[in-house]
Amino acid sequence: MKYHPHGSVLFCTISLEEGLLLLANPLCQAIVKSCLAAARELYPVRICHVLVEATHIHLVLVVIDPDHVDAFFRHFKTESAHMINGLLGRNKRTVWCEGYDSPIVLTPARAMMAIAYLYANPAKDNLETSIDRYPGFSSWRMFVSGTLTRQWKRLRRPQFAPIRRDANNLRGYTKLAEQLVEASDEVQTFTLEPNAWMESFGYHQPEEQQRLNNQLIERIRSLEDRAERKRQRERKRVMGRDRLIAQVFDTSYRPNRTGRRMWCLSEKRSVRHEFIEFFKALMAKARAVRERWKLGDVTVPYPPGLYPPSMPKLANAIAR
């Protein structure tokens, strides 16, 4: 079960099942922009920060309508999967792992940690030394520049056909991206809301928000410096901007995932414990409602903030 009440802050992650398919080239960026803007337009959520790596995407967002969160990710994953499969000449192949990770962030300090982790991820993963140099898609430049609105072209599934073997390179990707964008006459507006998470925790004054953003940037730089010191100790180097941009689609890569999905994020153990007890009680209430539905009593409402299952079939039609 997932609990996404109105106004809550979520740290979300969606991951590819296999392969390196979310690359830093213009073609992949055009797909991400189109699907991200379309999903947000159809199912509004307040996107604060986002970063894309070759195997996964991190987002920090604020919930408007709890029902929109699940629909937002479903639309993004469905449309992007069709486009990627079209490029690879695959039919009805699974691209994304099932579901998505979306722990609720319970404190402003933990929200800042999540955002700093998001932007420092390229340095931690030895892709680039700094988010400033990272060529993959992210909201970083929108955030630091203060230009929070972009106009992106809407791409459609039928536009995507298998890439020719001689075009499976940066030049081919760039040319195809230009053709796809030029052929589309639909424009979508995407708006980033980097301070929305602050408002959820009661920080509404511009001075407070600027102070928190300054602290956030300092935290990101500190994490990047830590990653650089670790590389020096281990005598490693980053992959680098040029190699990242020149990567080609690789369907053979198998990610090595560790860790487990969390219900909530907080630096305070007491806050986590209180939320977990509350959530367990809420899940017990939801299970009781489902049992009532199975018996035919559908007048009992499902707990708000949770996603109700489909109504049970209480009878079957008999053909005569």
pLDDT digits (tens, 9 = 90+) for 181-219: 999 999 999 999 999 999 999 999 999 999 999 999 999
Per-residue pLDDT band for 317 (boundaries 50, 70, 90) equals low
Domain co-membership, 60 together with 113: yes
- Say if residue 256 is exposed, middle or buried (CB neighbours under 10 Å; 0-12, 13-18, 19+): exposed
Q: Which of 4-18, 49-63, 305-319 has the lowest mean pLDDT?
A: 305-319
* Measured distance CA(23)–CA(28) in Å, rounded: 6
What is the β-pairing status of strands 46-52 and 56-62? antiparallel
Residue (of 113, 131, 295) closest to 225 by Cα position: 131
* Measured distance CA(93)–CA(84) in Å, rounded: 10
Whether the model clears a pTM of 0.85, i.e. scores above it, the answer is yes
Task: Identify the pLDDT of residue 34.
Answer: 98
Q: Which amino acid type is present at position 121?
A: N
Domain co-membership, 168 together with 186: yes
Helices 206-234 and 108-124 pack at an angle, to 10 degrees, of 40
User: What mean pLDDT, rounded, does the chain reach?
Assistant: 93
Residue (of 314, 290, 291, 294) closest to 302 by Cα position: 290
Domain co-membership, 252 together with 297: no
Q: Which domain holds residue 173?
A: 9-266
Mean pLDDT of all residues in 150-178: 95
Mean pLDDT of all residues in 157-174: 95
Domain co-membership, 301 together with 257: no
* Measured distance CA(56)–CA(36) in Å, rounded: 14
Domain co-membership, 167 together with 183: yes
Per-residue pLDDT band for 303 (boundaries 50, 70, 90) equals confident
Domain co-membership, 286 together with 174: no
- In percent, how much of the chain has pLDDT > 90? 83
Mean pLDDT of all residues in 128-153: 97
Q: Is residue 258 part of a domain?
A: yes
Question: Does position 319 have pLDDT exceeding 70, yes or no?
Answer: no
What is the β-pairing status of strands 104-105 and 9-15? antiparallel
Q: Is residue 3 part of a domain?
A: no
Per-residue pLDDT band for 254 (boundaries 50, 70, 90) equals confident
Instruction: Give me the count of residues in the chain.
Output: 320
